Amino acid sequence: MAQMCAKERPLAIYDLTIRGAGIFGLAVAWVAVQRGARVQLIDPFGAGAGSSGGIVGALAPHVPERWNPKKAFQLESLLMADRFWAQIYAAGGVSPGYARNGRLQSIADEHALRLANERAQSAIPLWNNHATWQVLPAQSSGWQPRSTTGYLIHDSLSALIHPRKACQALVAALAAQDVTVLPEGTDHGQVLWATGVAGLEALTAGHTRSMGNGVKGQAALLKHDASGMPQLYAAGVHIIPHCDGTVAVGSTTERSYRSATTTDDSLNTVIKAARTAVPALQDAPVIERWASLRPRARSRAPMLGTWPGKTGHFIANGGYKIGFGMAPKVAEVMVDLMLEGHDTIPQGFRVEDNL
């Protein structure tokens, strides 16, 4: 049989086209491939080009009180993370820098101490013995934040990940399944738009009010080996001891800015706060400064579901600050919806909640 020339070769047909290779797009692609779907993944800027290529990676839970669907969804996603990231590491051979080492938080005053003790009790039924929330005496030294009350909160649910490396791990795992990130392509099958800030802007253009926007965050990477230790939260700063011998500190929250990708004195304030809260970081050199826009949907929760008025098109966006922690469950419910027509997206996460 004569070999077909390039122009005669039939186009590949896909079950799912994903536009956007940030954490939501990559995670959905992975789950869809595991279900046997033929997936096309497109991003002109490459994988993890926006906020998903960051350096902080605090997978921290909402406080265990005033329970609602958003908190239940996040709990399930955090509990899925161990297996989710282990499978990705095994498939592609690239570590995502994931570890569930818990978190220590400083307690600033007596009111905060009372709240912390109340939450320790409410965590028991709400977290259903999957994890603990405890109030512990602070130690005189070691890897911990300063606490004016002499007490710290320790929870065993918090995990950490290196966002940039997690995206690389997903790319490697998908490549092992013959799925690569393409710079361009034609839509086939169902189409998912996981395009971050640009996607929120496109949605807003078709409505009378904002569907969301980009919020700038700045973070820094310090050279200090605290691998295996819990993450810390103090003075409004996340302090993440990555497995590679670095510590990430961040981040700022900036709704107005001159440049989305440059750092400034706002980051210096964060670094100073981290050094003050954790004496072990006092002399740790800064080896990277990072800034980017994070997509924040109008409702603050992830925006998931069908694109109103566009048959066969779907949205996964707005994972503001919690995208990596939510990714395993977001991927599961979006694949259920797009490939099986099974809608389990909770109230508050739906696209129409932002209309």
pLDDT, tens digit, 9 for 90 and up, residues 40-85: 999 999 999 999 999 999 999 999 999 999 899 999 999 999 999 9
Residue 179's alpha-carbon distances to 15, 18, 32, 57, 175, in angstroms, are: 13, 11, 11, 25, 5
Q: pLDDT-based confidence at 140, cuts 50/70/90?
A: confident
- Domain count for the chain, please give it: 1
Q: Which structural domain, as residue segments, surrounds residue 178?
A: 16-354
- Which position has the token pair 């419910």? 333
What burial letters (b/e) apply to 195-204, b meaning 16+ CB within 10 Å? Answer: bbbbbbbebb
Condensed to tens digits (0 to 9), the pLDDT of residues 289-307 reads 999 999 999 988 999 999 9
pLDDT value of position 352: 87
pLDDT value of position 205: 87
pLDDT > 60? residue 2: no
Residue 5 lies in a domain: no
Q: Look up the CATH number of the domain holding residue 170.
A: 3.50.50.60
pLDDT value of position 208: 77
pLDDT value of position 8: 42
Residue 160 lies in a domain: yes
Residue 264 lies in a domain: yes
Task: For Cα atoms 241, 163, 225, give the angle at the middle one, nearest 5 degrees.
Answer: 20
What burial letters (b/e) apply to 256-288, b meaning 16+ CB within 10 Å? Answer: ebeebeebeebbeebbebbbebbebbeebeeee
pLDDT value of position 11: 52
Residue 3 lies in a domain: no
pLDDT > 50? residue 126: yes
Residues above pLDDT 90, as percent of the chain: 88
Q: What is the mean pLDDT of residues 145-174?
A: 97
- Evaluate whether 192 touches 335 at the Cβ level (below 8 Å): no
Residue 11 lies in a domain: no
| Average pLDDT across the chain, whole number | 94
Q: pLDDT-based confidence at 12, cuts 50/70/90?
A: low
Condensed to tens digits (0 to 9), the pLDDT of residues 258-297 reads 999 999 999 999 999 999 999 999 999 999 999 999 999 9
Q: What is the mean pLDDT of residues 182-197?
A: 97
pLDDT > 50? residue 10: no
Q: pLDDT-based confidence at 247, cuts 50/70/90?
A: very high
pLDDT value of position 5: 42
Residue 1 lies in a domain: no
The rounded distance, in Å, linking the Cα atoms of 263 and 133 is 35
Residue 270 lies in a domain: yes
The rounded distance, in Å, linking the Cα atoms of 282 and 287 is 14
Residue 7 lies in a domain: no
pLDDT value of position 113: 98
Q: Distance between alpha carbon 83 and the CA centroid of its chain, in Å?
A: 16
